[in-house]
Amino acid sequence: MFTHTHFNTVGKVTVPFGATQDARHENVFLFDANVLFDTNNRDMDHAFASYLADFAEQRSCYLLSNMNYAETVSRIPTRLRRRFAGIFASAGTEFWRGNEVLVRHEHDFSDDVYEYVARMVLHSAYPQKQAPLIDSGSASLRICLAGTRVGRTAKQDYLAWENEHLELDAFMASFERRFPDHAICKDTETSLLITPNSFSTAEVQNQLLRRHKSARVIAYLGNRAAGGYAKPMCDALLRENVLSTVAGPSDISQLLSYEKKVMKDINPKAAAPVRLFQGAWQ
């Protein structure tokens, strides 16, 4: 694959056929949890989950999630979850293997930050306001004004209202002025993520390279993550590493079908036959 390349997808993915894999490097794959799900579904497609699990049996694969660990694993089928070598949860501030946290960045958010967030929630002008999601991690804070465990229709209604009123954008600008020692971004269309400047997602790459000394990191991220909370990691990627921005499971399947072909060409006995996930070309 081309090094440190961005594949921006608008309906299809550009796959670098003809590029060769450097056998000196072990390829380590990092997947954005949010792009493993179709935009209209909360649950992962079973065929895609099986396809990805088969791939993860042959390569070291990790997951990067804006959600906390419990919420992340609740959405990942068990077989696939067990194939991941580790999960970077809560925007990368925690690293989990199995059900054990191995690395955790600690930060005590000030009372001022919590009070500011509480005032934002209280003063929201959204007319259908429900109990908001406020998820406080060890070094991350997520807020979703659409509410906790709301259905698809309710979330779509909130998104339509937010797109018209841009309340989250106004809150982000206000928060940045008040707390310059924190980073804030939209981690989804309807939620905000706050982390302290003492943490950078560049640490995710560092953790991967500590575990795989000569690895080349290949990251498949959604545009929201790549331009938001994971941007420090993307900016810090070493030259030989690869960043592909993808829209969903079909894009990932198309790219992994190419990876499987490369694996088969390098070591025909070790790699499984190339098998394309059914929805990849749709």
Bigger pLDDT: 1 or 106? 106
Residue found by looking up tokens 């809150």 in the block: 171
**Contacts with 91 (C-beta within 8 Å, 6 or more apart), sequence order:** 65, 66, 137, 140, 187, 193, 195, 201, 229, 230
- What distance lies between CA 97 and its chain's CA centroid? 17
pLDDT in tens, 107-148: 999 999 999 999 999 999 999 888 888 999 999 999 998 887
The pLDDT-based confidence of 31 (bands split at 50, 70, 90) is very high
- What is the distance between the alpha carbons of residues 176 and 267, in angstroms, rounded to a whole number? 51
Give the largest CA-CA distance in the chain: 62
Residue 276 token pair: 């394309």
pLDDT in tens, 165-224: 999 999 999 999 999 999 999 999 999 999 999 999 999 999 999 999 989 999 999 999
Whole-Å CA distances, 238 to 5, 35, 38: 11, 23, 30
Buried b (16+ CB within 10 A) or exposed e, 215-240: bbbbbbbbebbbebbbbbbbeebeee
Q: What is the DSSP letter of 90?
A: G
Name the H helices within 78-201: 78-83, 111-122, 152-165, 167-178
Pairing of strands 60-64, 86-89: parallel
Question: Could you tell me the pTM of the whole model?
Answer: 0.86
The enclosing H or E element of 185 equals: strand 182-188
- What is the distance between the alpha carbons of residues 278 and 271, in angstroms, rounded to a whole number? 20
Please give the pLDDT value at position 155: 87
Residue 226 token pair: 């790549």
Please give the pLDDT value at position 23: 53
pLDDT in tens, 68-96: 999 999 999 999 999 999 999 999 999 99
Percent of the residues in the chain that have a pLDDT greater than 70, as a whole number: 83
Bigger pLDDT: 104 or 152? 104
Mean pLDDT along residues 52-81: 95
Mean pLDDT along residues 141-156: 85
Residue found by looking up tokens 């993915």 in the block: 13
Instruction: Give yes or no for residue 228 having a pLDDT over 80.
Output: yes
Mean pLDDT of the chain: 86
Pairing of strands 242-245, 191-196: unpaired
Mean pLDDT along residues 39-58: 87
- What is the distance between the alpha carbons of residues 80 and 89, in angstroms, rounded to a whole number? 16
What's the full length of the chain, in residues? 282
pLDDT in tens, 93-118: 999 998 999 999 999 999 999 999 99
Please give the pLDDT value at position 153: 86
